[in-house]
Structures are given as C-alpha cells and as structure tokens.
Amino acid sequence: MDQPQNQKRGCFFYGCLSLVILFAIVVVAGYLGYRSIKRTVLNYTDTSPAQIERAELPDEQQAALDQRAAAFFEALERGTNAQELVLTSAEINALIAKNKDFAGKVFVAIDSNRVTGKISVPLPDIGPFKLKGRYLNGEATLKVSLENSVLIVTLDEVRVKGKPLPASLMAGLKSQNLAADVQRDPEVADNLQKFESIEIRDNAVILRNRVNR
C-alpha cells in the first residue's frame, strides 16, 4: 500500500473513532452560538484549552495494534474477506495519540455499550458571537451503531466546562442522530458502505468490513 492511501484510510479511521465526540460538541457549539444569549455562550466556553490525557502503548503492543489495523484497512478496501477489528479504549487512545489532528484534543473511555469522550476544541467566530480565541472543553457520553450503512450516534449526556447542559437543551439533542449531516458528504457515505457493522459492546469498539458478494 502506498503512503497516501495509508494516510487517507488512517484519517477516515480516526475520524470514525472521534466522530462520536467531535460531532456532538460541534452540534452543541452551534446550538449555543445561535440559540443562546452571549452570557450563556461565555458561560460554556473557556479562554484556554483543557488538559486532555494522552495514552501510549509499549512498542511491542503498538506494533501489534498497527498490524491489526493495517490488515483491517486492507480488508475494508478490498472487500474480499471478512475482518473484524476489536479496539479497547486504551488502543483507541493510542491510535489517537499518533494522529496530529486529534492528539491532545480527544480522549476516549468505553463502558459497556457507551463511549465517553473528553474533548477540547478551539472555536471559530459564529455569527455575531466573537468566539475565536475561546475553547469548548467538554465531555460527551454517546451510543453508536451502524444500521444499513447509516451511522447512528445519539447522546446520553454532555458536560461542557464541567457543567451539564440544561435539561431543555439535552431533550432536543437526545432525539437527534448527530451523524446525520456529516453523512451527506459523498466520500463519508461511500466509506460507510464498506462497513458491515460498527458497534460498541463489551467495553470495546467492534468494526466489521462488508464483503462484496
């Protein structure tokens, strides 16, 4: 496999793993930016990023993980043989730590069938709100599944700047599939077609590729 293809697959892989957190926070940021008064926006943002943990595996374990991930990417691309990639939170965080776009910004914990992610992202200016230079430091707990090549991401809980979001806001967010909009991107939709399933179960993320028949 050539390097550009590896990088492209890697970016999509890390994107899938981080989507459950990143997209939830983006939705919250947009909601706060457009629906709330300035005082509320400032109340839920910080002037500095939060300290996000990084996790690394011993060299031997990291090499074995990289090999498993590479084998899965190959099967995902070819679609000729079934492969399953099971990742614990420690392994996910080790992969995140190797990706410059997400290292130090995302940290994942898995409990049963839910994933909780801590995140710290810089905000852009949103409409009349000048948020550049401020950060959204949050934690989201979500459920994830893939049904008929449609990624379903729903919120259980969100804490921003150490505070739970208001119940009135959470009621609206819990009813939404947070991954709906991003799947309108043809490339994302095409990549999701290559998965047979994505699920969170038994304290792990389980990815299976689709076999072309």
Could you read off the pLDDT of 136-169 as tens digits, one per residue? 788 888 888 888 888 888 888 888 777 787 777 7
Alpha-carbon distance of 100 to 20, in angstroms, equals: 18
H or E stretch covering 66: helix 59-78
Q: Residue 132: helix, strand or coil by DSSP?
A: coil
Q: What is the pLDDT of residue 59?
A: 94
Q: What is the pLDDT of residue 105?
A: 82
Question: Model confidence at 11, in pLDDT bands (50, 70, 90)?
Answer: very low
Alpha-carbon distance of 151 to 94, in angstroms, equals: 24
Residue 191 token pair: 């990549």
The answer to whether the CB of 58 falls within 8 A of the CB of 183 is: no
The residue among 127, 163, 129, 157 whose CA lies nearest residue 142 is 157
Alpha-carbon distance of 10 to 23, in angstroms, equals: 18
Domain ranges of the chain: 3-209
Residue 7 token pair: 């990088």
The Cβ-side half-sphere exposure at 57, using a 13 Å CA radius, reads 19
Among 10-14, 171-175, 197-201, the range with the most confident prediction by mean pLDDT is 197-201
- pLDDT tens per residue across span 115-132: 888 888 777 776 666 778
- pLDDT tens per residue across span 15-74: 554 444 444 544 554 544 444 435 666 677 788 888 888 888 999 999 999 999 899 988
Alpha-carbon distance of 86 to 77, in angstroms, equals: 18
Q: Is the pLDDT of residue 97 over 60?
A: yes
Alpha-carbon distance of 140 to 160, in angstroms, equals: 8
What's the pTM? Answer: 0.75
Q: What is the pLDDT of residue 126?
A: 63
